[in-house]
Amino acid sequence: MPPKRQLPLTRASRPTSPQKAPSMPGAMLFYVAVLVVGAAVIARLFYLQVVRYDHFRAEAKAEQLKKFELPPTRGVISAHDGDNTLPLVLNERLYTVIADPVEVKNDHKTAVELSAILKIDSRDLEKRFAKTESRYEVVGTKVNEDLKNQIEKQKLLGIYVREKSYRTYPQGQLGAQTLGFVNDDNQGQYGLEGFMNDELSGKPGLLKAITDRDGVPLAASQGNVMTAPQNGKSVTLTIDLTLQRIAEEKLKIGLDRVTSPAGSVLIIDPNSGAVKAMASYPTYDPAQYGKVKDARLFSNPIVTDQLEPGSIMKPLLIGAALDSKSIDRNYSFIDQGYVKVDGITIKNAENWGIPNENLQGILQRSLNTGAVSILKQMGGGEVNEQARTKWHDYLTNHYQFGKETGIEQSAESAGSVASPGKGSGLNVQYANMSFGQGIGVTLMQMAAAESSLINGGTYWQPHLVDKLDGKVVAPKMVRANVVSPEVSQVVRNLMIQVAGTNYRSSLRKGYNVGGKTGTAEITGPDGNYYKDRFNGTFVGFVGGNQPQYLVIVEVKEPKLASSATAGLTAAAPVFGDVSQALMDSGAVLPSN
């Protein structure tokens, strides 16, 4: 069969390839792009110059405003010197040099010229000028008037000189840990400066000035606003400079005598709570605080450090037992040289071999067994919950332990007193607390408590500030009837009798001197007591008809042939030296 003949395809039925859209010439594309970009720019300009005009105008004005702080003068701190007052802390007017890296136009040239004046490395300055993210770089401190004038004469763009007061100490390092210091940011640190920073520092003034493009204030501008600085308040302390020198001098002599690394002396007026002297060693020079390598030197250990006070707690125990009528002034007990509490044996430091002991004997021979026997009487004959609760009440509510005293010092410790009803081994712990072990107190707390015991029974808040901006700050009574006046008299007489026997070197005709030693074992990191490491303490008073000054002493780890007598052989001699110097100075009035 012959093949079929294919008919020729017509144009309409013939397959066709896809056709491209006609291309736009390049010039046309460029034209469209220009139109789009131009429209965007016009829209953006309209937004910035019309819609956001007020906002950006305010921002531009703000860029022109520069704040010039007018520093206040920090309050002067003074202390008593007899009938006069003398400054402990003054202010010296010096200058701080500040750079604004954004405004420094020629980093190298400015660095070279400024380094020649300040005698500092120009390369370091140039690096700091390169920190354009910073607008405030302190490049010189404590600059004197002559150097300040040289810098201003150079008219260096971006370099400012600001007046600043720096603390100076006319009495040297006297009372350094009580005072504290002021850092480079004008913030009080430690001691009184830290506690009263707000009152002492005042409030800065403020000058807002419209400036030209070089940052120079336009003084005639109506936009200037000035707020005068409020200077800090002046403070007059209760500290007596003569007594402060006595305390520091006699403490150092006493520590050297027994090769002790550290210690403290506190002198307080028991009739008002006014602190007359606080001395601790080692100490530092507040004018050179930046050179101190051990920051612990900045703290005032009299208020920051807890200690186990040892047997200076025994007068407080006797006062509590007499006041609660658990015993009377004729109390005595049979001393076997030891006593057992819940199977634990408590001994005296020495076996005196005197079986029948009264209250004076308990204090005079510092009998731990006697203290425990008194605590038993507070419990009806046993160390029990009743005894613990009653002793805890006197410790915390009468003598105010476990609470900050409120003394004008930073970082004061509240101490620690074990709860009478929570925990294990409480009977043994409270037995130890009766003679000053197993409890954490500060020397300031002890001084305030002992003061209330001997002054007739009034707890005065310890305080350092006598006047604030010339106005007298009245003493604050925290509690009346800590113990009754009669009990106070009994304990005071007991302490006078003890001093008359044990501390004869402290005595002088026409004056009344009383006291009590304390020796406390030191705890190790495992919580157990070392057998050969002790701290010595002493609390005593001196006066005429009435106690005028209470003195408390701590001597840390004295090197003695028998460290178990640290209170008697290390701390008591310091009290003797201090009390004799107080009488020599005329600060103590003799009895009529």
Give the pLDDT confidence of 155-190 residue by residue, as tens digits: 888 888 888 888 999 999 999 999 999 998 889 999
Question: What pLDDT is recorded for position 162?
Answer: 82
| Residue 27 predicted with pLDDT over 80 | no
Q: Dump strand ranges (E) for 544-582.
A: 547-556
Question: What pLDDT is recorded for position 310?
Answer: 96
Question: What pLDDT is recorded for position 10?
Answer: 38
Mean pLDDT across the chain, nearest whole number? 88
User: 62 falls in which pLDDT band (50, 70, 90)?
Assistant: very low
What single string gives the DSSP state of each residue in 340-392?
A: EETTEEEE-SS-----EEEHHHHHHTT-HHHHHHHHHHHTTSSSSHHHHHHHH
Strand partners, 230: 203
Other beta carbons within 10 angstroms of residue 265's beta carbon come to 32
User: 56 falls in which pLDDT band (50, 70, 90)?
Assistant: low
| Residue 472 predicted with pLDDT over 80 | yes
Helices (H), 237-300: 241-257
* Structure-block tokens of residue 500: 């008359």
Calpha distance 193→202 (Å, rounded): 12
Calpha distance 148→61 (Å, rounded): 30
Question: What pLDDT is recorded for position 3?
Answer: 46
Amino acid letter, residue 407: I
pTM for the model: 0.83
Q: Per CATH, which fold does 239-585 belong to? A: Beta-lactamase (3.40.710)
Question: What pLDDT is recorded for position 8?
Answer: 42
Question: What pLDDT is recorded for position 57?
Answer: 60
What single string gives the DSSP state of each residue in 171-186?
A: TTTTTHHHH-EE-TTS
Question: What pLDDT is recorded for position 531?
Answer: 83
Least confident range from 76-80, 205-209, 333-337, 505-509: namely 205-209
* Whether the bond into 87 is cis, omega within 30 of 0: no
Question: What pLDDT is recorded for position 212?
Answer: 55
Question: What pLDDT is recorded for position 21?
Answer: 47
Calpha distance 163→204 (Å, rounded): 12
Calpha distance 174→375 (Å, rounded): 42
* Structure-block tokens of residue 110: 């400015």
Query: Dihedrals φ, ψ of 441, to 5°?
Result: -135, 165
**CA-based angle 448:452:453, to the nearest 5?**
120
Calpha distance 6→448 (Å, rounded): 129
Task: List all residues 6 or more positions away from 179 whose beta carbon is below 8 Å from its beta carbon.
Answer: 77, 88, 89, 169, 191, 192, 193, 286
| Residue 488 predicted with pLDDT over 60 | yes
Higher pLDDT: 459 or 527? It is 459
Task: List all residues 6 or more positions away from 107 whose beta carbon is below 8 Å from its beta carbon.
Answer: 126, 129, 130
Please give the helix or strand (H or E) that residue 115 lies within, else none: helix 107-118
Calpha distance 527→523 (Å, rounded): 6
Question: What pLDDT is recorded for position 249?
Answer: 98
Q: Which residue has the tokens 């007899």?
A: 82
Question: What pLDDT is recorded for position 289?
Answer: 95
Tell me the average pLDDT across 60-85: 76
Region label for 372, one of left (φ > 0), alpha (ψ between -120 and 50) or beta (otherwise): alpha
Question: What pLDDT is recorded for position 225?
Answer: 59
| Residue 216 predicted with pLDDT over 60 | no
Tell me the average pLDDT across 508-535: 90
User: 131 falls in which pLDDT band (50, 70, 90)?
Assistant: confident
Tell me the average pLDDT across 376-385: 97
The three-state secondary structure class of 553 is strand
| Residue 63 predicted with pLDDT over 70 | no
Q: Taking the chain, what is the end-to-end CA distance rounded to the nearest angstrom?
A: 164
In whole angstroms, what separates CA 262 from the centre of its chain? 19
Higher pLDDT: 159 or 453? It is 453
Question: What pLDDT is recorded for position 484?
Answer: 98
Tell me the average pLDDT across 132-157: 86
Question: What pLDDT is recorded for position 557?
Answer: 95
* Structure-block tokens of residue 180: 């504290």
Tell me the average pLDDT across 204-214: 66
| Residue 439 predicted with pLDDT over 90 | yes
Least confident range from 354-358, 405-409, 440-444, 472-476: namely 354-358
Calpha distance 311→435 (Å, rounded): 5
Closest CA to 253 of 586, 575, 499, 543: 575
**Which of 203-207, 213-217, 409-413, 422-426 has the largest mean confidence?**
409-413
| Residue 196 predicted with pLDDT over 50 | yes
**Pairing outcome for strands 465-468 and 235-240:** antiparallel
User: 561 falls in which pLDDT band (50, 70, 90)?
Assistant: confident
Q: What is the DSSP letter of 511?
A: -
| Residue 11 predicted with pLDDT over 90 | no
Going 264 to 268 to 274 to 277, the CA torsion angle's sign is negative
Question: What pLDDT is recorded for position 210?
Answer: 57
Calpha distance 34→44 (Å, rounded): 15
User: 296 falls in which pLDDT band (50, 70, 90)?
Assistant: very high
Chain segment 309-340, per-residue pLDDT in tens: 999 999 999 999 999 999 999 999 999 999 99
| Residue 127 predicted with pLDDT over 90 | no
